[in-house]
C-alpha cells in the first residue's frame, strides 16, 4: 500500500488516497475516527482542537464494511475553514473590495518564525508572504497520516499485530521512570496501553502528574515543550519483515525514515538506541536461550530488529520531538520583505503536542509494517495474504 495526502491547515479540508490495500479487510469510518480522536487529545494543545472534531468520510474503495482492493478515498473537513473563507478561498477574490483586501492583509505573514518552515519555504518559492508555506507545513497534515495509518492498522490487526505508543518524557521530565517490565508479554503490553489511553497525556499513570505540571509551567511562562514517545509493535510479529539484502529494504531504516518525517521529530531510536553506542557489545546483543527446545531471548535491546529484519520480538522505537516553533513569547526575527529586525510572528498554536506526536508516529510505523507485511505475504485479498502467512482467517 501507499498513500497520498492533500489539504491546507485552514483550507476547506483534507483528502487522502490509500492505494494497494488488499480486498476484504474490515474497515469502518469508526475505525479511522477512533485514531483521529486519539490524535486530538492532549493536555497542552491550543484552541484549534476545540474547533475541530475530525471525522473521516470514506468516498471510495470500501463496500459493505470491507475494502474492495480499489483505492480508498477519504475526505475530512476543516471546521475552522468557516473563519478563513476569504483568505483561503480556492477561487480568486475581489482585491478592489476593501473588506476583502483587509482580510487578506490580516493573514499575511512576513516576520519569520525561527525553527519553522517559513524561511526556507519562502526563499524556495520566491514568496513575500509565508502563508502558503505555513498552510501546508502545519501539523494539521498529520491528521491525514493518522487516517492512513488507521487503515494500515486494520490490515495488521488481521495478523494479530498491534501498534501503540506512550509518552515517556516531556520537557526533560520523566526519563528516569521505568515504564514497563524488561520483556512484557502480550497481556502486559495490552494492559499498559489500556492504562495509557485513560489520560490526556497518553502516558503511564505514574508519570501523569509530573508531566502535566511541566506543561502548566510552560504555558505560564509562554514557552513550548517537546518530549519523547515510545512506539511499540507487538503481538504475532513475523520474523523477517524487511531485509538484510539492500540498504533501502532494511526495516529499521524504513521505520526511522518515516518517524523522522513527522513534524518536530529530531531523532529516532531503535531498541536501546543511543545507549548501545556507549556500552560494550556483551551488554547490547540479546543472547539466545533454548526453552523447551525452542529458540528464545532473555532481553530485547535490539528492539525487535536485527540485520534490518524483524526477529519476532516486539518492535521498540523512540522518537524525540523538539518544542513547537510557534511561540507566544516570540524570538528575535527579521521581516522577510523589509529586512528589518522584529519579533517573530505569533499565530495561535499549542504549548505541547507530544501526546499527538505519539499517535502520529504509531500511524507511520503501522504503514511501514503493513507495507512490509504485504511485501512478504502478498496477495490481492486478505484471505490470500493470510494463507501465504500460514494463518487461517479469523
Q: CB of 86: closest distance to ligand EPS in angstroms?
A: 16
* Per-position x/- string for 109-138, each x denoting binding to ligand EPS as judged by CB under 6 A, each - no binding: -----------------------------x
β-strand partners of 210 = none
E strands in the chain: 2-6, 13-19, 56-60, 62-63, 66-67, 72-77, 161-170, 227-235, 239-242, 265-270, 288-291, 294-297, 305-306, 309-311, 315-321, 332-334, 341-343
**In the structure grid, which three cell numbers stand for residue 246, read together?**
539492500
Q: CB of 36: closest distance to ligand EPS in angstroms?
A: 9
**In the structure grid, which three cell numbers stand for residue 105, read together?**
492583509
Q: Which of 5, 9, 67, 351 binds ligand EPS (CB under 6 A)?
A: 9
CA–CA separation, 124 vs 144, rounded Å? 25
Stretch that binds ligand EPS, among 44-52, 144-152, 293-301, 371-379 (CB under 6 A): 44-52
Q: Indicate the residue among 51 and 73 with the shorter CB distance to ligand EPS.
A: 51
Q: CB of 89: closest distance to ligand EPS in angstroms?
A: 17
CA angle 59, 154, 139 (to 5 degrees): 70
CA distances, 361 to each of 136, 249, 265, 315 (Å): 19, 20, 9, 13
Rule CB under 6 A: say whether 345 interacts with ligand EPS: no
Residues in 274-333 that interact with ligand EPS by CB under 6 A: 326
Q: CB of 80: closest distance to ligand EPS in angstroms?
A: 6
Rule CB under 6 A: say whether 347 interacts with ligand EPS: yes
Q: Which of 22, 44, 46, 271 binds ligand EPS (CB under 6 A)?
A: 46
Q: Helix, strand, or coil here: 256?
A: helix
Q: Cβ distance 76 to 54 under 8 Å?
A: yes
Q: CB of 125: closest distance to ligand EPS in angstroms?
A: 18
By CB under 6 A, name the binding residues for ligand EPS.
Answer: 9, 46, 48, 52, 80, 138-140, 143, 326, 347-350
Amino acid at each position: 500500500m501507499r498513500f497520498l495526502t492533500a489539504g491546507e491547515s485552514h483550507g476547506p479540508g483534507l483528502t487522502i488516497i490509500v492505494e494497494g490495500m488488499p480486498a476484504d479487510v474490515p474497515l469502518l469510518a469508526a475505525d479511522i475516527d477512533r485514531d483521529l480522536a486519539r490524535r486530538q487529545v492532549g493536555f497542552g494543545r491550543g484552541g484549534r482542537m476545540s474547533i475541530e472534531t475530525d471525522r473521516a468520510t470514506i468516498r471510495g474503495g470500501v463496500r459493505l464494511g470491507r475494502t474492495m482492493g480499489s483505492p480508498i478515498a477519504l475526505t475530512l473537513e476543516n471546521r475552522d475553514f468557516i473563519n478563513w473563507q476569504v483568505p483561503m478561498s480556492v477561487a480568486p477574490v475581489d482585491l478592489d473590495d476593501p473588506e476583502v483586501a483587509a482580510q487578506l492583509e490580516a493573514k499575511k505573514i512576513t516576520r519569520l518564525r525561527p525553527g519553522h518552515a517559513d524561511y526556507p519555504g519562502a526563499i524556495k518559492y520566491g514568496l513575500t508572504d509565508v502563508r502558503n508555506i505555513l498552510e501546508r507545513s502545519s501539523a494539521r497534515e498529520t491528521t491525514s497520516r493518522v487516517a492512513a495509518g488507521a487503515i494500515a492498522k486494520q490490515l495488521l490487526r488481521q495478523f494479530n499485530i498491534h501498534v501503540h505508543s506512550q509518552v515517556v518524557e516531556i520537557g526533560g521530565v520523566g526519563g528516569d521512570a521505568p515504564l514497563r517490565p524488561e520483556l512484557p508479554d502480550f497481556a502486559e503490553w495490552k494492559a499498559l496501553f489500556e492504562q495509557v489511553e485513560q489520560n490526556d497525556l497518553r502516558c503511564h499513570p505514574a508519570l501523569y502528574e509530573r508531566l502535566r505540571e511541566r506543561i502548566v509551567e510552560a504555558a505560564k511562562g509562554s514557552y513550548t515543550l517537546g518530549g519523547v514517545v515510545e512506539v511499540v509493535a507487538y503481538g504475532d510479529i513475523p520474523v523477517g519483515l524487511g531485509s538484510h539484502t539492500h540498504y533501502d529494504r532494511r526495516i529499521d531504516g524504513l521505520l526511522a525514515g518515516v518517524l523522522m518525517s513527522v513534524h518536530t521529530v529530531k531523532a529516532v531510536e531503535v531498541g536501546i538506541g543511543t545507549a548501545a553506542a556507549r556500552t560494550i557489545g556483551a551488554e547490547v546483543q540479546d543472547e539466545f536461550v533454548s526453552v523447551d527446545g525452542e529458540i528464545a531471548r532473555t532481553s530485547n535491546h535490539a528492539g525487535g530488529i536485527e540485520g534490518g529484519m524483524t526477529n519476532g520480538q516486539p518492535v521498540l522505537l523512540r522518537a524525540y520531538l523538539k518544542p513547537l516553533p510557534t511561540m507566544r513569547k516570540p524570538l528575535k526575527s527579521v521581516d522577510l520583505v523589509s529586512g528589518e529586525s522584529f519579533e517573530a510572528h505569533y499565530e495561535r498554536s499549542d504549548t505541547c503536542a507530544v501526546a499527538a506526536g505519539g499517535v502520529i508516529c504509531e500511524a507511520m510505523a503501522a504503514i511501514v509494517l503493513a507495507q512490509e507485511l504485504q511485501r512478504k505475504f502478498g496477495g490481492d485479498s486478505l484471505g490470500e495474504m493470510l494463507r501465504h502467512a500460514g494463518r487461517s482467517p479469523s
